[in-house]
Amino acid sequence: MDHWSECTCYSCQTEAVSEKEKKLHVQISDASRRDFLKKASGLGLALGVGGGLISPLAASAMNDGEGGARHNEILSNKSVKSGKTSVVTLLHTADIHAQLLTHDEFFIENGKPVYKKRGGYATLKSMINSLRKENPANTFLIDGGDCFQGGGVAALTEGQAIVPLMNNIGYDLMLPGNWEVVYGKEMMMKDMFAYTCPKVCANMFHATKDDFNGDLIFPPYYVKHIGGIKIGFIGFNDPLTPKRQSPAYSEGIQFTHPQENVAKYVKILKEYEGCHLVMLLTHMGLAQQIGLADMPYIKGVDYILGADTHERVREPIRGKYAHVTEPGAFGSFIARLDIAIESGVVKDQAYQLLDVDPDRYKEDEEMKALVEKAREPYRARLDRVIGKTKTPLVRYYVIETPMDNFITDAIMWKFKPDIALSNGFRFCPPLVPDTKTGVAEITEDYLWSMLPVDSEAKLGTITGKQLWDWMEKELHNAFAKDPAKRFGGWVVRFKGMEVNFTIGNEQGKRVNWIKVKGKALDMNKNYSFVACEREGDPDTTICRVENVAEPKKLGATLHKIIEEYLAKHSPIAPKLEGRATATDAPNTLLTQLMGFGYEFR
């Protein structure tokens, strides 16, 4: 029995709510309750527990792909204009990855890549302010994590410089993502608790030898009274975080799976708090989140507001028990969910994924000054040009990317092993050559976006059999049929070998063939490879390859290697080369979620 199916009976999960939990729910929501009662009495509202709400999953808007038209319909409705019906607007960002400035962004139009300028904190704030003005009394802003990792300023300040920017935008609720642990537990706590808004996460616990051991690091949920109803939010970070990343990052933290306590908190919110809507705020990846939406223990949840895989969900994906959304990445998009409520009953709703477009929203001057202040101590260093590219550096493709071909080219050039490896990262927006000069400048700041952790290179030796088995394991991490077993990253990247596989095959049977330096893999032969050191791994583990022979740190970090490579080879021109190919997917595959009617664009 896999861990998704263990104890999935809803009644088993909810029958015991301790006195401590009952007390906790009062403490967590007391402030928002007082605020709500003041407003409710002033508006003459009378809401009973349970409120007689119709299920929001029945709303016709969920089958309407024209979210903008539906949004306009709702706001222009006579009942809304007269004040009889109120509209609650939830705004959702995630995976901003410390991208402070407007940047190139990747789109697919008519089957071809198109690049447009998007994002930047000053544009993001201006857009959020504009959206708030449309519904000033009832707009609630959420961030779903992976905020203070992914850029130069974030890395050089261990996330501290990003906190004032997020506070200036004025978020109402935040969830830690899997990369919030990158600077260690203590720094994560300092950064997260420096946010002025509430934080939620129900599955990150102290694992220490002190009085905190076993306690939740953050409150598990939050209740908001808005627009005449109560909405409960329960937070979950990716339980696979300690395996996906360097284990040292998560030292002192225990992660659990949602099924261990989500039903308990749903029960608290529905029965004790009397919430009309319950939302899961998650950072687990779209595949895991859709899997979660089908599990009986989340019964009572209306939406899973997801994050992690940077997917652009433009129409909520319907699971058995909840709808799932995800708002893209890099501050390039904002998801908006509008819910029309009359007398405590949901009447209509609309969902949109909106571009953070600098041509439409003028930069907020206050935020622009704050960003400049954050960058100023590091400006000369971060703006230093270290090389140029003649082709777009892109990391959106699942199977192979030009960006990681460039990185593994550099590793191969420096050390000349049989194989060079790079993890299947997703973060980093594209870098596109200028149409006039034909090149794009690669700065140190962009290098930090490609590789936010400057890890040391490490050499090891494995047999062909080990390589084959490891590749099977990595493909399972990316394409496991059980979504709970997907790591969230894309296929591992490499130079020096070619791999052909079939995504739809069973576990352990996906690899069709492997070639190293143009020759068929010899199961008994030893092969050398170089990859980055993962802090906290055993010495004989490199890039999740276990039992490596003759492991050796090479005394050079990946940043240094790339700078040396660019000094010799700039301008570069990386492209897709067929290093990894699938029999049942194109090399331009843009999502690991297939068969749900979802399309990345």
For 82-96, write each residue's pLDDT tens digit. Answer: 778 889 999 999 999
Residue 269 neighbours by CB under 8 Å, 6+ apart: 25, 221, 223, 232, 234, 275, 278, 300
The pair of three-digit structure tokens given for residue 550, joined into one six-digit string:
């003759």
| Range in 171-175, 270-274, 360-364, 486-490 with the lowest mean pLDDT | 486-490
**204-225 residue pLDDT tens:** 999 999 899 999 999 999 999 9
**95-138 residue pLDDT tens:** 999 999 999 999 999 989 999 999 999 999 999 999 999 999 99
Residue 69: per-residue pLDDT: 82
At 67, the pLDDT band (50, 70, 90 cuts) reads confident
Beta strands in 275-432 (DSSP E): 277-283, 303-305, 317-318, 323-325, 333-342, 345-355, 385-389, 419-422
| Biggest CA-to-CA distance, the chain | 79
Residue 382: per-residue pLDDT: 98
141 has a pLDDT exceeding 80? yes
**279-329 residue pLDDT tens:** 999 999 999 999 999 999 999 999 999 999 999 999 999 999 999 999 999
Task: Enter the pTM of the model.
Answer: 0.88
E strand or H helix at 253, and its extent? Answer: strand 253-255
- The CATH classification number of 380-582 equals 3.90.780.10
At 463, the pLDDT band (50, 70, 90 cuts) reads very high
- The CATH classification number of 10-47+70-365 equals 3.60.21.10
Residue-range domain boundaries for the chain: 10-47+70-365, 380-582
245 has a pLDDT exceeding 70? yes
E strand or H helix at 473, and its extent? Answer: helix 464-479
E strand or H helix at 567, and its extent? Answer: helix 558-569
